[in-house]
Structure 1
Amino acid sequence: MSLDENCIFCKILRGEIPSDKVYEDGDMLAFRDIHPQAKVHVLCVPKSHFSYLSEMGEKERGLVGKCMAKLPEIARLAGIENGYRVIINQGEDAGQTVFHLHIHILGGQNMGENLL
């Protein structure tokens, strides 16, 4: 597990900052967002620090694939029953504020076509 000393998500992964965990295994941690953008908003964070999809090597591709495969289970554990939205922000213009690749799972409500 390669983590960055100053990254807030790495600090959460190391247990230095508490989180409301939904799921955890050897590859990832999923926890509730402290500033939710939907009724249910969970972040899935790989246990390896890299900032962008564009930085993925073979190891990171496998890790992100494992995270994606777990999303249905994580959504269910978070209480999402009728569908969810998955978002990965890539860079500042996309709204990325924490530069440790992470996957947003949003649901628990009708997301409608006006909520992107």
Structure 2
Amino acid sequence: MSLDGTYDDGNIFAKILRGEMPSARVFEDEHVFAFMDVFPQARGHTLVIPKHSHARNLLDEEPAVLCELILGVQRVARAVRAALNPDALVITQFNGAVAGQTVYHLHFHIIPRWEGVAVGRHASGAMADPAELKALAEQIAAKIS
């Protein structure tokens, strides 16, 4: 899909926000929802999405929403760091299919990295164990301040 298009209210993240699909919730406030990626590139891979948005990507979003969203990303990233003690964090966001975007609801990835541990490919590999994701979500959520 290109950078331009119409928001699909049936995308997986919209369904998660409406409670139609399950997720391992890490954090939620009035502006953002954070949950574990079911196809993680690394242990602790977390997604942060705006709750009240129909933006497909960063270029579509209103500045006021972006302000609250990036504050939520920072808050969750700090919790991932505190909970899992990675050597580094990758914080990324894709815009368009060629860039790697697979879900057309604006979202950020927080991916913990450890020296010598390979990262998985985006949107590939096996689905993670839901019980493990729930445990990781609880571990990270406990560090939200």
Q: Is this a same-fold pair by TM over 0.5?
A: yes
Q: What is the distance in 1 between the residues matched to 2:44 and 2:115?
A: 11
How far 1:111 sits from its partner (Å)? 8.0
How far 1:106 sits from its partner (Å)? 0.4
Structure number with larger C-alpha Rg: 2
Question: Percent same amino acid at aligned positions?
Answer: 37
Q: Which has the higher contact order (CA 8 A, sep 6+)?
A: 2
Is contact 1:41–1:105 with CA below 8 Å preserved after alignment? yes
Write out per-residue CA displacement over residues 32-85 of structure 1, whole angstroms, 9 at most, x where no aligned residue. 0000011220000111121022212xxx22222222123333124342434311
Is contact 2:48–2:72 with CA below 8 Å preserved after alignment? no
Letter in 2 for 1:63: V
Q: CA RMSD in A?
A: 2.5
Unaligned runs of 5+ in 1: none
> Which is strand-richer, 1 or 2?
1
Aligned length: 110
| TM-score, normalised via structure 2 length | 0.66
Q: Comparing 76-85 with 47-56, which one deviates more in the overlay?
A: 76-85
Unaligned runs of 5+ in 2: 1-6, 122-145
Partner-residue secondary structure (3-state), 1:40: coil
Letter in 2 for 1:109: W
Q: Match of 2:71?
A: 69
4+ runs deviating over 3 angstroms: none
Q: What is the distance in 1 between the residues matched to 2:36 and 2:99?
A: 21
Q: What is the distance in 2 between the residues matched to 1:46 and 1:111?
A: 33
Is contact 1:88–1:103 with CA below 8 Å preserved after alignment? yes
Is contact 1:42–1:106 with CA below 8 Å preserved after alignment? yes
Q: Match of 1:31?
A: 35
Note the 1:1-116 alignment, pairs <5 A.
Answer: 4-47=8-51, 48-56=53-61, 60-78=62-80, 79-82=83-86, 83-110=88-115
Q: What is the distance in 2 between the residues matched to 1:70 and 1:111?
A: 29
Q: What is the distance in 2 between the residues matched to 1:99 and 1:111?
A: 32
> Which is helix-richer, 1 or 2?
2
